[in-house]
Amino acid sequence: MTETVDISVDFAGVRLANPVFTASGTCGYADELADFTNLNQLGGFITKSITAKPRMGNDTPRVVETDSGMLNAIGLANIGLDAFIQEKLPIIAKLTVPVFVNVAGETIDDYVAVVQRLATERAIAGFELNISCPNVAKGGISFGTEPTQVSEITSAVKKAAGEKILMVKLSPCVTDISVIARAAVEAGADALSLINTFTAMVIDIETRKPVLANRTGGLSGPAIKPIAVYLVNKVYNEVAKERGIPILGLGGIRTASDAIEFIIAGASAVAVGTANFVEPNCTIKIVDGLKRYCLSHNVTSIKELIGCLG
Amino acid sequence: MTNELSKPNKGVFDAVVFANKQIRQRFYRVGLEFSGDGAAAFAKAKAGQFAELDLSCIALPPIEGIAEDLRDAAERKILLRRPFSFCDVSSRREKTRVDILYCAVGPATLRMTTLSAGNSVNVIGPLGNGFQMPAGKKMALLVSGGMGAGPLIHLAKTLATDYPDVEVIAFAGAKAKTELPFEKPLDEISQQLGFSLHEFARYGVESEVATDDGSVGYEGLITDCFSKWLGQRSLSAKDTIIYSCGPEEMLARMAKIAEDKRIDCQVSMERRMACGIGVCQSCAVECRVEGSSETIYKLCCEDGPVFDSREIVFKL
């Protein structure tokens, strides 16, 4: 590659070497993928959700494949804040790329507690507020579907986050995603990430019961990509562009071409989720592919592509 | 970072198919050959470990060649990798060959049947923890149900090679004669305990067969066959170890037998997996915590798939 291609982007005040993140829940806490990929070649890293207390997660089956996608209902299984600080932060601190901690909870106080404890950690660039998980009985998506709730939780967490970047992750399972995006931005969100998974179901026709123990799960993978591209473009046009709020676009990205679609739609950066399960090194391939696209299309800076949809 | 944390004993490798043979009906055995780093990593693969195969780009067999009850499944597109354990691993001249026993029952395994010599398959592995070796034991009893025979064939080889003083006996069960995943014509399977299964006999391991419908061997569950066999022997529990792989109901019964007889027992568990590398948290296995009434979820892919049977809270 020549040095004439600039694929760096600015994301809520942070310079990213490239616009490719790993999506929350698909790369653990950084150490799990060390055998398979070099995370320092990414634009940024987003951890699996952290809650104030450890969570066991849902009963199994927790995952089922669909045509061009998969459903998951993990239930925010995670080691909890204390273990995260003791065991995982030292590993994350060694990463040279900006790290966002995905935060979830059952109450606003839960979210605030996690963010407050981590707000002074130098290893962390910011937080991704998970108000869109469809797989838990309390919290999760219930905070993300009603604008006054979105506003309340975003402003409470923003106060706790101090200088750190606050990114709010949106659910597609709403009537108008722009209403939710606007509520988050007006309450202080520095960035938006979209989309989380769609609530969905797969039925075993022999037992006539849902395959997942949780009955429903979140649909991800290539199946949701065109909807995600549309929603990113909608939020970009209706909310993010005029306010200068960056969007992290995600939903079914597996190739550089997929990533470029999101960027053209209005995403300043993209995250790769389900594809990491199939190809743990695919983020790096996407980074290389972005460079190739820029070179072959006479794009000197990838920033030119953000929201350039004709 | 990568170097610091990396364990060079696993990775993502392209393997070359050297054989893909239909054993009988829906049962197949595919051989994959690894070179370079892949050969080095898989040379250390232990019985009970597994690999994740990307079969999404493999062609389906012609639709008329697919059994009618599998045609709906065949039409499904696949996205995720599929986990497979090994029935044999052998290294020679800087190449490592890995054999996988599989049953063509779904969209991925049906595609797998069309692999032919020279084709390339992308593989992540070897993954998980294999069976622990029988330190200090004098007898190892290998008990399988259906496709669970695969990793136990691999284990029989390992034991024969590395633990020649340990006496090994295999017990293989299935619903019916046609559901036994073994190569040798089943008419040759003796009704008596003996070297009836070639896959085990080649390692000097005697075997006994049970079928639910009695079409060959003991009529009934392999666990009942095993219990009966145990009852006729006066084994030293502390000198014996059981290794088991099969459906969860069967493993639960094996755990109970082992507990009653106070024999150590390792079981290889199965769960739906997305990643196989400890990231997605899909393959949770409920485990007891020693000295406590609480349970925790461990991961089948990373903490298992082989567990001590006393740990597992079986899903029944």
Mutate to test the interface with A, among B1, B6, B7 (most CBs of A within 10 A): B1
At B5 the pLDDT is 42
* Span A2-20, pLDDT tens digits: 458 999 999 999 999 999 9
* Span B129-153, pLDDT tens digits: 999 998 899 999 999 999 999 999 9
Q: At residue B8, does pLDDT exceed 80?
A: no
For residue B25, what pLDDT band results from cuts at 50, 70 and 90?
confident
What's the rounded Cα separation, in Å, for the pair B273 and B161? Answer: 32
* Span B160-192, pLDDT tens digits: 999 999 999 999 999 998 899 998 756 555 555
Q: Residue B126: is the preceding peptide bond cis (ω within 30°)?
A: yes
At B188 the pLDDT is 58
What's the rounded Cα separation, in Å, for the pair B54 and B276? Answer: 12
Q: At residue A277, does pLDDT exceed 50?
A: yes
* Span A170-209, pLDDT tens digits: 999 999 999 999 999 999 999 999 999 999 999 999 999 9
Average pLDDT over residues B194-213: 87
The angle formed by the CA atoms of residues A102, B278 and A21, to the nearest 5 degrees, is: 40
Q: At residue B1, does pLDDT exceed 60?
A: no
CB contact under 8 A, B280 and A69: no
CB contact under 8 A, B12 and A36: yes
For residue A132, what pLDDT band results from cuts at 50, 70 and 90?
confident
At A265 the pLDDT is 98
Q: What percent of chain A has pLDDT over 90?
A: 90
Q: Distances in Å between the alpha carbon of B5 and those of A46, B8, B123?
A: 19, 10, 21
Average pLDDT over residues A80-109: 94
Task: Report which residue type is found at A141.
Answer: I
At B192 the pLDDT is 52
CA dihedral B229, B233, B237, B243 (to 10 degrees): -30
CB contact under 8 A, A277 and B76: no
What are A109's two structure tokens?
């106080």
For residue A30, what pLDDT band results from cuts at 50, 70 and 90?
confident
For residue B195, what pLDDT band results from cuts at 50, 70 and 90?
low
Distance from CA of A137 to the nearest CA of B (A): 18
Q: Is the ipTM of this complex over 0.95?
A: no
Q: What percent of chain A has pLDDT over 70?
A: 97
At B24 the pLDDT is 87
Please list the residues that pair with B77 across neighbouring strands: none
* Span B39-95, pLDDT tens digits: 999 999 999 999 999 999 999 999 998 999 999 989 899 999 999 999 999 999 899
What are B11's two structure tokens?
């990775």
DSSP track, B150-178: HHHHHHHHHHHHH-TTSEEEEEEEESSGG
The phi and psi torsions of B254 (rounded to 5 degrees) equal -65, -40
Q: Distances in Å between the alpha carbon of B300 and those of B83, B286, B288?
A: 11, 10, 14
Of all residues in chain A, the one with the smallest CA distance to B13 is A36
Q: Of the ranges A47-61, A127-141, A248-262, B90-104, which one carries the lowest mean pLDDT score?
A: A127-141
Distance from CA of B124 to the nearest CA of A (A): 9
Average pLDDT over residues B11-34: 95
For B1, the closest of A48, A59, A94 (CB atoms) is A94
Q: At residue A24, does pLDDT exceed 90?
A: yes
